[in-house]
Amino acid sequence: MKDRQNKPYLKQVEDALKAQLRSKEFWSCNAFEVIVGTNTPCGGDAGHGGKTLFRLRNLVGTCWDISVDGKEVAEPDELTIVLAGDTEAQTFADSLVFAGRTLKKQMRENSNGELRSRVIALEQKLNPNE
Protein backbone atom coordinates (compact mmCIF):
# COMPACT_ATOMS: atom_id res chain seq x y z
CA MET A 1 0.00 0.00 0.00
CA LYS A 2 1.57 3.20 -1.09
CA ASP A 3 0.59 6.34 0.79
CA ARG A 4 1.79 9.01 -1.59
CA GLN A 5 0.58 12.14 0.30
CA ASN A 6 2.82 15.13 -0.50
CA LYS A 7 6.24 13.42 -0.62
CA PRO A 8 7.42 10.78 -3.06
CA TYR A 9 6.86 7.30 -1.62
CA LEU A 10 10.56 6.42 -1.36
CA LYS A 11 11.25 9.61 0.61
CA GLN A 12 8.37 8.73 2.97
CA VAL A 13 9.89 5.30 3.58
CA GLU A 14 13.37 6.77 4.15
CA ASP A 15 11.95 9.28 6.64
CA ALA A 16 9.97 6.57 8.46
CA LEU A 17 13.06 4.34 8.75
CA LYS A 18 15.62 7.08 9.42
CA ALA A 19 16.44 5.82 12.94
CA GLN A 20 16.75 2.20 11.76
CA LEU A 21 18.85 2.72 8.63
CA ARG A 22 22.41 1.39 8.78
CA SER A 23 25.09 1.69 6.11
CA LYS A 24 28.40 0.05 5.38
CA GLU A 25 30.90 0.45 2.57
CA PHE A 26 32.61 -2.52 0.93
CA TRP A 27 35.87 -1.73 -0.90
CA SER A 28 37.97 -3.73 -3.34
CA CYS A 29 38.75 -2.85 -6.96
CA ASN A 30 35.19 -1.55 -6.95
CA ALA A 31 33.15 -0.22 -4.05
CA PHE A 32 29.55 -0.52 -2.87
CA GLU A 33 27.65 1.14 -0.08
CA VAL A 34 24.83 -0.91 1.40
CA ILE A 35 22.05 0.91 3.24
CA VAL A 36 19.49 -1.26 4.99
CA GLY A 37 16.83 -0.93 7.64
CA THR A 38 13.42 -2.12 8.79
CA ASN A 39 10.79 -1.20 11.35
CA THR A 40 9.28 -4.70 11.32
CA PRO A 41 7.65 -6.53 12.92
CA CYS A 42 4.61 -4.30 13.00
CA GLY A 43 1.99 -6.99 13.37
CA GLY A 44 1.10 -8.06 9.86
CA ASP A 45 0.94 -7.07 6.23
CA ALA A 46 1.71 -3.76 4.55
CA GLY A 47 -1.37 -2.13 6.06
CA HIS A 48 0.19 -2.38 9.52
CA GLY A 49 3.04 -0.05 8.50
CA GLY A 50 6.01 -2.42 8.32
CA LYS A 51 8.66 -1.26 5.86
CA THR A 52 12.05 -2.62 4.85
CA LEU A 53 14.56 -0.73 2.70
CA PHE A 54 17.59 -2.20 0.93
CA ARG A 55 19.85 0.06 -1.15
CA LEU A 56 23.00 -0.90 -3.01
CA ARG A 57 24.95 2.13 -4.23
CA ASN A 58 27.92 2.07 -6.60
CA LEU A 59 30.66 4.19 -5.07
CA VAL A 60 33.30 3.51 -7.72
CA GLY A 61 34.21 1.10 -10.49
CA THR A 62 31.34 -1.38 -10.29
CA CYS A 63 30.51 -3.21 -13.51
CA TRP A 64 26.89 -4.34 -13.14
CA ASP A 65 23.73 -4.81 -15.11
CA ILE A 66 20.34 -4.44 -13.50
CA SER A 67 17.02 -5.33 -15.03
CA VAL A 68 13.47 -4.89 -13.77
CA ASP A 69 10.78 -7.07 -15.32
CA GLY A 70 13.27 -8.05 -18.02
CA LYS A 71 14.09 -4.44 -18.95
CA GLU A 72 17.64 -3.25 -18.42
CA VAL A 73 18.32 -0.11 -16.43
CA ALA A 74 21.04 1.79 -18.27
CA GLU A 75 24.17 2.45 -16.18
CA PRO A 76 22.51 2.65 -12.76
CA ASP A 77 24.28 4.22 -9.80
CA GLU A 78 22.07 2.54 -7.23
CA LEU A 79 19.41 -0.07 -6.68
CA THR A 80 16.72 0.44 -4.02
CA ILE A 81 14.18 -2.16 -2.95
CA VAL A 82 11.35 -1.36 -0.54
CA LEU A 83 9.27 -4.16 0.94
CA ALA A 84 6.06 -3.68 2.93
CA GLY A 85 4.97 -6.14 5.61
CA ASP A 86 6.49 -8.38 8.27
CA THR A 87 6.85 -11.59 6.27
CA GLU A 88 8.32 -9.71 3.32
CA ALA A 89 11.11 -8.47 5.61
CA GLN A 90 11.72 -11.99 6.94
CA THR A 91 11.77 -13.73 3.56
CA PHE A 92 13.96 -10.98 2.08
CA ALA A 93 16.47 -11.26 4.96
CA ASP A 94 16.49 -15.05 4.56
CA SER A 95 17.05 -14.73 0.81
CA LEU A 96 20.01 -12.38 1.35
CA VAL A 97 21.59 -14.85 3.80
CA PHE A 98 21.09 -17.66 1.26
CA ALA A 99 22.57 -15.52 -1.55
CA GLY A 100 25.61 -14.55 0.52
CA ARG A 101 26.34 -18.10 1.67
CA THR A 102 25.87 -19.52 -1.82
CA LEU A 103 28.12 -16.95 -3.50
CA LYS A 104 30.88 -17.33 -0.88
CA LYS A 105 30.74 -21.14 -1.19
CA GLN A 106 30.84 -21.03 -5.00
CA MET A 107 33.76 -18.57 -4.98
CA ARG A 108 35.70 -20.88 -2.64
CA GLU A 109 34.90 -23.90 -4.82
CA ASN A 110 35.81 -22.04 -8.01
CA SER A 111 39.05 -20.80 -6.49
CA ASN A 112 39.99 -24.28 -5.25
CA GLY A 113 39.24 -25.78 -8.67
CA GLU A 114 41.35 -23.16 -10.39
CA LEU A 115 44.17 -23.67 -7.92
CA ARG A 116 44.01 -27.45 -8.42
CA SER A 117 44.18 -26.98 -12.21
CA ARG A 118 47.27 -24.79 -11.83
CA VAL A 119 48.93 -27.37 -9.56
CA ILE A 120 48.27 -30.14 -12.09
CA ALA A 121 49.64 -28.00 -14.94
CA LEU A 122 52.75 -27.16 -12.92
CA GLU A 123 53.28 -30.83 -11.97
CA GLN A 124 53.01 -31.77 -15.65
CA LYS A 125 55.64 -29.17 -16.56
CA LEU A 126 57.99 -30.31 -13.80
CA ASN A 127 57.46 -34.05 -14.49
CA PRO A 128 56.75 -34.33 -18.24
CA ASN A 129 57.46 -38.09 -18.35
CA GLU A 130 54.78 -39.08 -15.83
Sequence spans of domains, the chain: 9-126
Taking only the tens place, the pLDDT of each residue in 20-76 is 999 999 999 999 999 999 999 999 888 899 999 999 999 999 999 999 999 999 889
Helix%, strand%, coil% for the chain, nearest 5: 40, 30, 30
For the cut 50, the answer to whether the pLDDT of residue 118 exceeds it is yes
103-115 residue pLDDT tens: 999 998 888 777 6
CB 64 within 8 A of CB 56: no
Q: Which helix (H) or strand (E) holds 45?
A: none
Q: What Å distances lie between residue 50 and 89, 92, 98, CA to CA?
A: 8, 13, 23
Closest-CA residue to 37 (of 47, 56, 23): 23
